[in-house]
Structure 1
Amino acid sequence: MAEKKSVRARIQRFGSNLSSMIMPNIGAFIAWGIITAIAMSLPETSDIHLFLEAFVDPMVIYLLPLLIAFAGGRMLHDFRGGVVGATAAMGVIVAADIPMFIGAMIMGPLGGYAIKKFDQWMDGKIPSGFEMLINNFSAGIIGAVFAILGSLAISPLVVGFTAALGAGVDAMIGIGALPLVSIFIEPAKILFLNNAINHGIITPIASSQISEFGESMLLMLEANPGPGIGILLAFMIFGKGAARASSYGAGIIHFFGGIHEIYFPYVLMKPQLIIALIAGG
């Protein structure tokens, strides 16, 4: 019984840590969703569309992961940990051509933990008058080291994980087991890998089916809005605090704008909801 409580406590603590990284940045996700929804609703040749489209990729590739990494580092060692965590996350971001949210969730707290341990080790050992010099250089050196390590070690793991999910989707489609495809698609989506799965695997196969049969059910797999709306409705009804308050705006953006990414942070806050997404998909 004690062991079960320990496991449950660890899971709850893990969920709480994820929530601490995601919740402070929900406003940025909503801002990105609004800009993306407006851009998608306008003709591709219009000046406003071209102006807003310039925001979309930089925000999802750089801004949002860096904010998550900063929050993760700050969670462990205040503002100083946030700075090192964001610096460390830059390594995984530049090493891949996909949004590195999972990499940011790893490198942010890791960088914060490293600088925290360094500060504890140096406590009381810094000569008077050298505090600012040592503090700044130590943060810079540790951030640079972890950025390089993230680029060389963590980024390939995340890219490999993405490839594995893609292979799973391809295999399920190949044997005609469409109801099981969501086992791979939904976890990929909440890690912001939906475009990689959609454009890299589903769209090419669907295009060949359309040319042969005139239609394809595959186009509805990744684009299915139902599970996301269900998640946001659950937060509207059963959520608490800022998560519930922000879910209304996120629901409007998802329902009318078709922006799936807006509900991903809510699932990351409570990873057990991935089961509901798979069942709904």
Structure 2
Amino acid sequence: MRKFGQLLSAMIYQNIAVIIVVGIIRGIFGIYGYFYNDRILLLVNPIYHTLLPILLAYTGGRLLGGQRGAVVSAVVTYGFTLASSVPIIIGAMMIGPFVGWMIDYIERKIKDKIPVGYELLILNTLTAIVGVVLTIVCFLYVGQILSFAIKSINNFIQAIINSWWLPFSAFLIEPGKVLFFNNIINYGILSPLGIQQAKEIGKSIFFLLESNPGPGLGVLLAYWLKTRNEKRKIVGLSMFIHFIGGIHEIYFPFVLRNWKLMLAVIGGGITGNIIFQSFGGGLV
């Protein structure tokens, strides 16, 4: 699970600049931006629908299948984008690593059986054949199925956001963070959902749920009030690193040292989520 979380994390943060570019464009030139410009906004949909999914899949394919895995993942995902009526960011994060792993597996199985001097020709040809088959299948069949699934997920998510169940996601998020599953929760689940929702309504509450530093700050503040001397200095530095630096992992050992504090971070998470939801909070 940890390796899977690291893979998802790498796919997102290696392409984070593209996501920020879209956020800045929408924030400045969007409907609620400072300088509304419908012509500049024409850049947004192609980035969401085509460029970002391809980059995510390319990165996932490269991490597991090298350059050939990256190229095939990008081509297959392009077939996805042409067949889908919605952004397939979540689908790209699944298909990229899968295709990369498949290419790597095929290469390892046949590499020793290829005559010397024919490696480049045979491996590239075989890779192309795999790419052709997967691209056609995704274009004709998988794209439509995935579009329907993503639309259903979006409707379900919107229903949850409009209900009062969302704050209680802290029962899963906060213990998961403390057990060092924060990357899986954030990059594997919440960030793709947030990107998808931001495309639809211009902002997303999902960017705030795991990244909220409030519960961790509360725990560290309590430790700071109860400790003295050198320990207090250490906790004070931890507060700065956590709240200003954004490094959640700094407070996890404090909770693991006293399991009763798990209730504290869950309560803090629920409180923060209620505030976000009540005031229509979200990030672009």
- Superposition TM-score tier, normalisation by shorter sequence: 0.5 to 0.7
TM-score by length of 1: 0.59
CA–CA distance in structure 1, aligned partners of residues 272 and 147 of structure 2:
23
CA shift, 1:38, in A, is 2.9
The alpha-carbon distance between structure 1 residues 171 and 239, as it changes in their structure 2 partners (threshold 3 A), is closer
Provide the residue aligned with 1:206 in structure 2. Answer: none
Gaps of 5+ in 1: 1-9, 199-221, 241-273
**Which of 74, 78, 82 in structure 2 is aligned with 1:94?**
82
CA shift, 1:134, in A, is 1.8
**1:116-167 CA deviation, whole Å, 9 max, x = no partner?**
1111122122233433322222222111222233345543443333343355
Provide the residue aligned with 2:194 in structure 1. Answer: 190
**Which of 14, 27, 38 in structure 2 is aligned with 1:24?**
14
CA–CA distance in structure 1, aligned partners of residues 20 and 68 of structure 2:
26
Provide the residue aligned with 1:178 in structure 2. Answer: 163
**1:15-35 CA deviation, whole Å, 9 max, x = no partner?**
111001111111121222223
CA–CA distance in structure 1, aligned partners of residues 75 and 197 of structure 2:
22
**Which of 25, 28, 34 in structure 2 is aligned with 1:38?**
28
CA–CA distance in structure 2, aligned partners of residues 144 and 278 of structure 1:
45
Q: Give 3-state SS (helix, strand or coil) of 1:137's partner.
A: helix
Q: Please say which structure displays the higher CA radius of gyration.
A: 2
* 1:103–1:154 contact (8 Å) kept in structure 2: no
Residues 206-245 of structure 1: matches in 2 within 5 Å?
228=207, 234=213, 237-239=245-247
**Amino acid of the residue matched to residue 97 of structure 1?**
S
**Which of 5, 14, 18 in structure 2 is aligned with 1:15?**
5
The alpha-carbon distance between structure 1 residues 111 and 58, as it changes in their structure 2 partners (threshold 3 A), is same
CA–CA distance in structure 2, aligned partners of residues 164 and 98 of structure 1:
11
**Amino acid of the residue matched to residue 115 of structure 1?**
I
**1:26-59 CA deviation, whole Å, 9 max, x = no partner?**
1121222223333223665xxxx24422311111
Give the aligned CA root-mean-square deviation in angstroms. 3.7
Q: Give 3-state SS (helix, strand or coil) of 1:192's partner.
A: helix
CA–CA distance in structure 2, aligned partners of residues 33 and 86 of structure 1:
23
**Which of 111, 115, 133 in structure 1 is aligned with 2:121?**
133
The alpha-carbon distance between structure 1 residues 53 and 238, as it changes in their structure 2 partners (threshold 3 A), is closer
* 1:66–1:104 contact (8 Å) kept in structure 2: yes
Identity %: 27
CA shift, 1:95, in A, is 1.5
**1:205-256 CA deviation, whole Å, 9 max, x = no partner?**
xxxxxxxxxxxxxxxxx8576x64575564854338xxxxxxxxxxxxxxxx
Q: Give 3-state SS (helix, strand or coil) of 1:179's partner.
A: coil
The alpha-carbon distance between structure 1 residues 61 and 31, as it changes in their structure 2 partners (threshold 3 A), is same
**Amino acid of the residue matched to residue 30 of structure 1?**
I
CA–CA distance in structure 1, aligned partners of residues 158 and 92 of structure 2:
27
**Amino acid of the residue matched to residue 246 of structure 2?**
F
* 1:165–1:188 contact (8 Å) kept in structure 2: no
CA–CA distance in structure 2, aligned partners of residues 94 and 109 of structure 1:
20
CA–CA distance in structure 2, aligned partners of residues 223 and 52 of structure 1:
18
Provide the residue aligned with 2:112 in structure 1. Answer: 124
**Amino acid of the residue matched to residue 36 of structure 1?**
R
TM-score by length of 2: 0.59
Provide the residue aligned with 1:72 in structure 2. Answer: 60
Aligned length: 206
